[in-house]
A and B are shown apart, each in its own frame.
Chain A
Amino acid sequence: MEVNYAIELSKHEHKPLQINPIKHSQPMGAALAFYGIRNCLPLMHASQGCASYTKVFFTRHFNEPIPMYNTSVSDITAVLDGGDYSILLSIENITKKNKFKPEIIGLHTTGLTETKGDDVRGVGMHIEIPYCYVNTPDYEGGMESGWALTAKALIDQHTRPYDQVRPNKLLLLPHVSMQPVEVEKIKEMCENFGFETYALPDLSTSMDGFFGEQQGKLAQGGIGIDEIEVLGNCATVVSIGSSMRIAAEALLVKNPKIRHIHFDHLMGQDMNDNFVASLMEIRQIEPSPSVKRWRGRLQDVMLDSHFLIGSSRFVITGEPDMCIGMTELIQSVGGTIEAVVSTVYSPVLEKIEAKKVFVGDLEDAKVHFKNADLVISNFHAERILHIDEQSHAGLVLRGFPNYEELGNQLKNDQLYEGSTYFLLEIANKLREVKHHG
């Protein structure tokens, strides 16, 4: 399969099928985003397998019960129904059976219901509960875009227009690959600067592995719809990850006075210096001592780990916004990126300066494994690395899904602190594979 060697970054596919895919679908990203909305009823407009697969996928990744409902489109409704019947019946069945009242219904489409052309916007006129619809066909985009489209839809449809701002109110828009604790840490950082901070979506209080009183049939924690409605008076919106720009722009439409700051990621010293500088400029205060301590620790670890990382080669696979952050952090201590294999095309991939950057699957990525010391990929790469005896590379698990390890929601790679831990983790893994064979 030497042909795969020369795959260039392109908006078009290089082969007719995917073999061992890394990519996940738009509907799955949308579903995950709705888990970050308080008391949300995530409703997938699909035949029931789509929801069942998604539920199992996230249950195994997070080791948490996952609230998930679907409209069970049947052979008859697939052809005859414009969507109204199965959606309204679902909502009736769910709310009647469970005797609960969701604060919002998060409805999104799939390949099936987009193909049949259901009017998910129109059906909202018949629903008494607050309602958000998103068009997420799974033959377009990927998990990252499904998540971003949902954040945008929530703002478009629910945030009220404002002409004033509250100077210390801030909205964070995290990209899909950020785990719950990472969102929590960034929120904390902003709060330390005196901001009243919100995140959209906010998994930091919903999918965070917290052992509560009961398991909900609705999304727990998260940002409330009442809070989304009044996001228009934020003074600052911070988008993290190129995919989230569309959500920030949607907010600026509601109130042009909002200041938008964008970061492609928050990994490594440079990006975090920019982030801290921005927050300092707005608030005109110094960061807390702990932020300064962590920057020092990161620098120390950069120096300590640069011998190992600087002489090593990496392959990274995953969603574009995750890939660029890891690439830049590893490169900042001299690591060589052999290949970045991304799930979907995103303009941010053009910014990555690695030997190879392209959209592909694990069959394509495997070719590069034999040149790597370390692979950063999801759980599927594990078996492929084992089968491939030419490769001596170690594996650090990141991205969706990770069925192999516990505590995914507590993995932190962001800010000075998370970057420090990330460098230590990959350096230790490198020591294991390089020095102990």
Chain B
Amino acid sequence: MVNRAKIKELLNESACSHSKDKKPGEGCDKPKPGLAAGGCAFDGAQISLFPYADAVHLVHGPQTCLGASWETRETLSSYEGRDHTVMGFTTGIRTNDVIFGGDKRLADSIDFIMKEYAPEAIFVYSTCVTALVGDDIDMTCKLGSEKHGVPIVPVHAPGFVGGKNLGSRLAGEAVLEHLIGTKEPEFTTPYDINLIGDYNVTGDMWQYLPILDKIGIRVLSSMSGDGRVGSIRTAHRAKLNVIVCAKSLITLCRKMKEQYDIPWISVSFYGKRDTAFAIREIVNALGDEKLIAKAEEVLAEEEEKLEARLKPYKEMFAGKKAVLNTGGNKAWSIASGLQDLGIEVVATSIRKSTADDIEKAKEYLGPDGILMKAPASEQSKVIDEKGAHILLAGGRSLYTAIKKKISFIDVNQEKKVSYGGFEGLLNLAEDLKSAFNNPVFANVSKKAPWETVSMEAE
């Protein structure tokens, strides 16, 4: 079950710089009625766990929850068995289940899934309606687990408890309670780490894993990008937890420190400097001199190769200025990537950033950089003042770019290629090149004949 005490705890994460200065009970922002339609807790929980391809993700709720959300995220998996991330499972409850309870339907669904698909585990997500009517999914999962001999994990993140971020944390709680520490790894090494919070969207993780591998760092388990149920169960034996980008699973890391004494660090793999920085952070935290030396050697080699490939882009981008309007850590991580390509970032949005993120953004953009608190209204002015050549933002800002006749890249919607790691930086460079060279934005802002041709009688 999920209770108010747990939600309060998760919203007031002591390890999160965001909540540090807030009074008890204030914590993270709560969804406000009528404002932007952001995701809900169920959304966050599903995003966090969905990359487990060897598990079935069963949504216990009515139609909207899964019907509108399956097969929307490019969370790639290297799992060679049946990939459940491209499938949708829902109990799709009906009126009868609301009146009489949906436990029987849930139990039958679990039996059906085990018989037809035999996954390594099932995650069962409660949703608003099934939580409200009080379906006992804990008991149903427990009985199912005993009957079938695989973990069946209840995830208590009904949408009405809060936003996406809270949902991710609740997913972390479910994994901590039901999976982590339930199995021993076949062997351990001094360089075992867990990757936390990278969902491997468009294969982001695969951009930097080869470098870690070359240095000799082993990824013991992943929560959750390209993850395996079997390996997350052994996560308690890792030497270090590495949070990638997202802050939402910070609670999981804090608790693993408390329970298993695993230290944690938070890094990003966007751009050249951040990728190198992230790798140094990891080896320094593992604290082995030989490993640190090896990392320096590998980095020097990789950076040299990368620089050679970046050179033509840097020449092409010389003198270009960009305005960045995106959320959270992307406010500085994408900025850093752009700077690595020789583009001047004249402004970035800090509307959805944490205190840490704002500090970093300040540092990266320097004294002349503009930190936009209300980007929707500010960005247009900034583009004029600074003479920016490109706007990188979400789709809602497209018209700002068109009116200003400058290039535009959508950095928020489901992107098709990865911008992570060294290889990803090259993808970003290629996309920027196309954006700068494309005449479409100037073309569609041309006036129509009926706006220009005079029709007055002679």
Contacts and interface: CB of A to CB of B under 8 A. Distances in A.
A222 B158 CA distance: 35
A112 B34 contact: no
Nearest to B34: A90
Given A49-B39, A111-B61, A19 B70 contact: no
Contacts of A17: 58, 89-92, 105, 108-109, 112-113
B33 A89 contact: yes
Contacts of B444: 211
A307 interface: no
Interface in B106-131: 108-109, 112-113, 116, 128-129
A86 interface: yes
B32 A23 contact: no
Interface in B10-58: 30-35, 37-43, 58
B34 A116 contact: no
A426 B40 CA distance: 40
B306 interface: no
A72 interface: yes
A71 B162 contact: no
A46 B62 CA distance: 13
B293 interface: no
Contact of B64 (A87, A97, A111, A214): A111
Interface residues of B, number: 62
Nearest to A45: B33
A218 interface: no
A115 B34 contact: no
A139 B33 contact: no
B64 to A, nearest CB: 4
Contacts of A24: 63-64, 67-68
Given A49-B43, A72-B33, A112-B129, A54 B396 contact: no
A17 B91 CA distance: 4
Interface stretch (B94-102, B240-248, B309-317): B94-102
B260 interface: no
B68 A53 contact: yes
A312 B68 CA distance: 32
Interface in A81-107: 86-87, 89-94, 97
Contacts of B163: 48
Interface string A45-61: 01111111111110110
A54 B63 contact: no
Contacts of A111: 61-64, 93, 98, 128-129
Contact of A89 (B34, B93, B133): B34
B72 interface: yes
Contacts of B95: 137, 139-140
B209 interface: no
B132 interface: yes
A21 B66 contact: yes
A380 B72 CA distance: 10
Contacts of A77: 160
Interface stretch (A62-70, A154-162, A406-414): A62-70
Contacts of A112: 128-129, 132, 159-160
B132 A78 contact: yes
Contact of B35 (A18, A55, A72, A137): A72
Contacts of A139: 62-63, 92-95, 97-98, 129
A138 B62 contact: yes
B90 A48 contact: no
Contact of A93 (B34, B93, B128, B129): B34
A242 interface: no
Contact of B128 (A16, A47, A69, A215): A47
Interface string B277-313: 0000000000000000000000000000000000000
Contacts of A55: 37
A137 B95 CA distance: 9
Contacts of A15: 112
A27 interface: yes
Contacts of A48: 31, 37-40, 159, 163
A297 B71 CA distance: 39
Given A55-B37, A78-B132, A21 B90 contact: yes
B143 interface: no
A73 B109 CA distance: 28
A54 to B, nearest CB: 6
A18 B112 CA distance: 11
B58 to A, nearest CB: 7
Nearest to B157: A49
B87 interface: yes
B42 A49 contact: yes
A379 B64 CA distance: 17
B129 A18 contact: no
B32 A72 contact: yes
A28 to B, nearest CB: 6
A322 B354 CA distance: 48
B40 A47 contact: yes
Nearest to A49: B40
Given A48-B163, A74-B162, A139-B129, A65 B71 contact: no
B395 interface: yes
A99 to B, nearest CB: 12
A1 B112 CA distance: 11
A311 interface: no
A126 interface: no
B89 A72 contact: no
B37 A69 contact: yes
B176 interface: no
A56 B70 CA distance: 12
B88 interface: yes
B265 to A, nearest CB: 31
Nearest to B60: A17
A21 B63 contact: yes
Nearest to B40: A49
Interface in B247-274: none
A273 B414 CA distance: 45
B161 interface: yes
A25 interface: yes
B34 A138 contact: no
B72 A56 contact: yes
A139 B98 CA distance: 8
Given A25-B63, A75-B161, 7 more contacts: A18-B66, A46-B159, A48-B38, A70-B37, A72-B32, A78-B128, A138-B63
5 contacts: A21-B66, A59-B395, A72-B32, A78-B132, A94-B34
Interface of B: 4, 7, 30-35, 37-43, 58, 61-72, 86-95, 97-98, 105, 108-109, 112-113, 116, 128-129, 132-133, 158-163, 395-396, 398-399, 414, 444
Interface of A: 1, 13, 15-21, 23-28, 43, 46-57, 59-60, 65, 68-75, 77-79, 86-87, 89-94, 97, 110-112, 115-116, 137-140, 142, 211, 214-215, 379-380, 383, 403
Q: Return the 6 tightest CB-CB contacts between A and B, nearest first.
A: A49-B40, A90-B34, A47-B159, A16-B108, A93-B34, A111-B62
